[in-house]
Structure 1
Amino acid sequence: MRSHDGNGTDPTSRRALLATAGGLTAGLVGTAGCLGATDEVRVLAAGSLASAFENGVGPTFESDAEFGYAGEYYGTNAVVRLVADGTKYPDVVIGADAALLRDRLYPDHADWDVTFAANEVVIAYAPETALGERLAAGEPWYDVFADADDGEIAISDPDIDPLGYRALLLFELAEREHGLEGFRAAMADRVAHVADEPRLLAGLENGARACVVAYSNMATERDVAVRRLADAYNFGNRADADRYAQASYTTERGHTVMGSPVVYNATVPADADDPDAGRAFVSFLLENEGLLADHGLRVDDAIPRFHGDPPEGIAP
């Protein structure tokens, strides 16, 4: 039986990490004990899905299916790296950048995936702060950001998380859209990086930050004030995919990513410990669009969409 965390130690209980009155507080979530048993599906997913999966999708799956649910959540760069280097052997892998999962896991670890939900980038803010007051008053967000002090605005780590590099690409696309010379570089030097995506909004709530660049579902789940962004740079409109791709980011490991719409895709890895459980969970996602929508994710007519040939039991 493979060790769940790759180092022979028992990971921390996922529910112990999540059990707070206000909801999700931990950015890294695991389950206790060895998780190779066939009565539990092990899901390694993008961090922005942590609250939705722990508080909705996972428990509902457990009540409807013959399997339990055990989830871990990281930035998608970290998710695919953990699978590619053999550190983890989940039954389901879910990323927040479809191209990234395919680039890193095909063909050695997967040959198919399915997109099942979409999202968009927003600005979440604390209305009681000076920056928040200006956003609430309707000032252009890029003018407000240009006046921010170092650390007042936070993004997730762009080297491990698509939300982090999408924040930097947002600054670049806004620079082009509004003629803001040097805006991306200035913001890159000014923003704080938060390593764990699910902890990003905690800084907003505890007064450490005035604004964060987040996904729409994260802000919805935490009920924080939000400034919606134009389709030209919110990564939420598939019709603007070519525009998003004009911006790129190269991670510290030398992997270059292009801007792309925010869509989540899932696969059952070829070396999954329990592929039957993995297929059951992916099928559950495709059959429960309303549950995903209840947690702030978008499911539209373009979803689901398969890439490659899905295994028997997961119908296109």
Structure 2
Amino acid sequence: MALSDPRDRGAVNRRTALVTAGGLVGTTLVGCLGSNSNAVRVLSAGSLAHTFEEHVGPAFEEKTGIEVHGEYYGANAVMRMVEDRTKHPDVIVSADATLLRDRLYGDFTHWDVVFATNSVGIGYNEQTEFGRRLEDGEPWYELALESNEGDISIGDPDLDPLGYRAVQAFELAENEYDLDGFRDKMMGLVYEEPDEPQMMAGVETGSRAAAIVYRNMAIDHDMPFFEFPDEYNFAVPALADRYGTVEFTTDEEGYTAIGRPVLYNATVNDEADASEAGHDLVQFLIDETDLLVEAGLTVGDSLPRLEGDIPGELTV
């Protein structure tokens, strides 16, 4: 299925810049998590960079007068930066709710708000052979096995839940279609891209045929998107048990991520300098569900959902 976004693609966000931290490249709004009495600092999963820059940040500033200063990385890297205090954010946002709880509960927070979900699939360039044949209805997994090494990219699974969800999707597809060795064969073919914007840029220019991405990322880039079936798109909470039959263990921390639905959650750092503004921003995510849907995310009937020892300022 091809998705389009009616928003103007020609506008350039002049507040966007690239920063390097800990060997990773991320996108940041002006401020780079620096101190500002009228700003809230956000450290977020990279798949929400466009969501915060083009939707949440401007709308929140218009409503409250508080600027959003954000940096965006793979969620594993986000957790590591908080744990080792490389970054000192007010608000922390993860693309894997369980990851945030496993890594940050106790030392940095005691609560979170699950505010949106997403689905996993293939963002592709329709001008490539892979894209043309995919649109003709050929099975994606057969096309993937016929692709050249590096034609398809995934996020780095050691840094990013999107990366390890791609690996898990390969394994679930292997089980679904009885494709002997499919996961391992795909891991020998794909390129692991640590910088999410570069992954999308490669597909847009045609230097890569496709990438395993979230739905909202395809919408952000006005890119055709083939959504994986529910059995392995990580978008259906009712299929959590099926997703949970696969797992991935990262190399660096040795963290084992069990397959689970995509759930975005946010919390305020116990060490936040601007905790009041942080709570205001999280409440904004709770209240402005239409804004999140406009950005390509999904907010089902069970969301937003509060977890843990919720501060009294927050309500659903």
Same fold (TM over 0.5): yes
Spell out, residue by residue over 1:146-194, the C-alpha distance to the aligned partner (whole angstroms, 9 max, x if none): 1111000001111100000000000000000000000000101110011
Q: Out of 221-230 and 100-109, give the one that drifted further.
A: 221-230
1:8 is matched with which residue? none
Which deviations, in whole Å up to 9, do the C-alpha atoms of 1:100-139 show, x marking residues without a partner?
0000001111100010011000111111111111100011
Secondary structure (helix, strand or coil) at the match of 2:113 reads strand
After superposition, the Cα gap between the structure-2 partners of 1:27 and 1:85, relative to the gap in structure 1 and judged at 3 Å, is closer
Q: Shift of the alpha carbon at 1:233?
A: 0.2
Matching residue of 1:74: 73
Task: Give, in whole Å, the separation in 1 of the partners of 2:235 and 2:75.
Answer: 18
1:31-180 correspondence runs (5 A): 31-32=30-31, 35-180=34-179
Match of 2:304 in 1: 304
1:291 paired with 2:291, answer: yes
What is the letter of the counterpart of residue 270 of structure 1?
D
Partner of 2:271: 271
Identify the residue that residue 192 of structure 1 maps to in structure 2.
Answer: 191
Deviation at 1:28, TM superposition (A): 2.8
Secondary structure of the structure 2 residue equivalent to 1:28 = strand
C-alpha separation in 1, matches of 2:132 and 2:213: 18
Task: Report the Cα offset of residue 197 of structure 1.
Answer: 1.7
**Any runs of at least 4 consecutive aligned residues in structure 1 with deviations exceeding 3 A, and if so which?**
none
Q: Secondary structure of the equivalent of 2:192? A: strand
The CA distance in 2 between the partners of 1:33 and 1:167, in whole Å, is 30
* 1:34–1:240 CA distance, 2 compared to 1 (3 A): closer
Task: Give the secondary structure class of the aligned counterpart of 2:315.
Answer: coil
Q: 1:33 to 1:49 in 2, by over 3 A?
A: closer
Q: 1:55 to 1:118 in 2, by over 3 A?
A: same
> What do the CA deviations read for 1:4-28 (whole angstroms, capped 9, x no partner)?
xxxxxxxxx982428xxxxxxx843
Structure 2 regions of 5+ residues with no counterpart?
Answer: 1-12, 19-24
Partner of 1:215: 214
In structure 1, stretches of 5+ residues that fail to align are 1-12, 19-25
Report deviation, 1:30: 4.7
Taking a change above 3 Å as real, the CA distance of residues 114 and 245 of structure 1, as seen in their structure-2 partners, is same
Change (3 A) 1:194 1:14: farther
RMSD (CA atoms): 1.5
- TM-score, normalised with respect to structure 2: 0.91
SS at match of 1:249: strand
Q: Is the 8 A contact 1:36 1:274 kept in 2?
A: no
Which residue matches 2:9? none
Task: Give me the identity figure in percent.
Answer: 48
- Structure with more of its chain in strand, by fraction: 2
